Structure 1
């Protein structure tokens, strides 16, 4: 009888040890998987009547981020300007970028509002459930790539920055976007005539930097002149030149005074 009890005790201890080990391993795997990120690029316009719900949605997500690695970029395209209202944030470079995504993702046409996440998934920008699921999946995906940028010096409109990654960047570009946190405009013409529209994470400019396969180095960024002084955020990411896939992203820890 004593031998049976002893055997049962030993089996129980083995089971507990095995369960603890499995649980520990599961936590380790979970931690590895939960180091993803989400670069959310919205293509929008003040001249498009379908865009305000998408603008409101990304503003809602922005309020919920709370230090999560989610990077929202709102590009105001210029092809709706022809309807009578020129979006003051619009830029033909942003329309060109959307057309580039159409090529990367094999789309027949471009439209607004459109969201692209991590360069490889696109959908209508006002689809909240799709956006939330896509962000959640991206955050849970494993990511072994890293990217950091640091501001070394600001001389008026010229910034000197350094970048550092954990690998050579063959076939990838460093994209750096200067982002205005928020703005409100009263629309006087076009499809949104009479509406007051609020925007967040407005891309003022973005630059493509060829890293020449170097894992770290320095680069300069000259900020465009703005009408008013404002703090801007710099968001950077590594993007494949051939597919558009984004493999790492970050933002400058400190905001930059735009003068």
Structure 2
């Protein structure tokens, strides 16, 4: 069963570029046929929704299939299912708000789970594999904004990143801390009795001021570089379109 919640929306911006290694690199495919562009996939999901596990499983398969290629996955666990019998440990009102912001960009009357958004330009039911594959093969917008991130140091609770990102009207840069995997046994709600695996769970999202210098990214308390990465992304504030994307998967040692 899916849930449909009517809510108003704010406008947010998000961008692309990820770093959990010693340097920033581009997102070129390492093997196989090159994609026509990049694919930035955002899944809005919840452990309390019985329709969501197939969508979670789909992005997990897609992530493995397109490993090393310019396909980026962020899974946001919304909180509006929490009142219906099971509190998702990864849920956040911030992720519900981000989904509502997309609802405004898409001129929708509400939000639902599971929902997939690709490149900030198209949305559909998150378990629809054919639509996801079609969206992945649709050309992304070539990066037009000079963007360079390099990890300088990583300490418990903080990542210091060298940043070059000139201010551009209508664009904003964000960095997301993403937990690559987790498994949760659900004991109540629609998925009671199931053990649910998760992929690329967004745990924090921080806007970064443009300029040239350094930025301190606050990391979740349980951040472990062996199972996490830092993803940045640039997003058009008027349309929601994602303008560039990249990620680094190597794991630096904590200082």
Bin of the TM-score, shorter chain as denominator length: 0.7 to 0.9
Counterpart of 1:42 in structure 2 is 43
Counterpart of 1:12 in structure 2 is none
SS in 1 for 2:51: coil
TM-score of the pair, normalised by structure 1: 0.78
Q: In the alignment, is residue 96 of structure 1 matched against residue 97 of structure 2?
A: yes
Counterpart of 2:128 in structure 1 is 127
Counterpart of 1:205 in structure 2 is 204
Over the aligned positions, Cα root-mean-square deviation in angstroms equals 2.3
Structure 2's unaligned 5+ residue stretches are 1-33
Superposition deviation, residue 210 in structure 1 = 3.5
Structure 1's unaligned 5+ residue stretches are 1-32
1:197/1:257 Cα in 2 relative to 1: closer, same or farther (>3 Å)? farther
Q: Does structure 2 retain, via aligned residues, the 8 Å contact 1:149–1:252? A: no
In 2, Cα distance between equivalents of 1:157 and 1:227: 7
TM-score of the pair, normalised by structure 2: 0.80
SS in 2 for 1:130: helix
Counterpart of 2:164 in structure 1 is 164
In 2, Cα distance between equivalents of 1:120 and 1:221: 28
Q: Considering fraction of residues, name the structure with more helix.
A: 1
SS in 1 for 2:95: helix
What does 1:21-100 correspond to in 2, within 5 Å? 36-100=37-101
What does 1:111-150 correspond to in 2, within 5 Å? 111-138=112-139, 142-145=142-145, 147-150=147-150
- Structure 2 counterpart of 1:239, from 207, 222, 235: 235
SS in 1 for 2:137: helix
Q: Does structure 1 retain, via aligned residues, the 8 Å contact 2:171–2:237? A: yes
SS in 1 for 2:235: strand
In 1, Cα distance between equivalents of 2:203 and 2:75: 9
Moved more, 146-155 or 41-50: 146-155
Q: Does structure 1 retain, via aligned residues, the 8 Å contact 2:154–2:254? A: no
Superposition deviation, residue 88 in structure 1 = 0.5
Name which one, 1 or 2, has greater alpha-carbon Rg. 1
Superposition deviation, residue 36 in structure 1 = 1.9
Tell me the number of residue pairs that the alignment of Structure 1 and Structure 2 aligns: 222
Q: Does structure 2 retain, via aligned residues, the 8 Å contact 1:232–1:256? A: no
Superposition deviation, residue 193 in structure 1 = 0.6
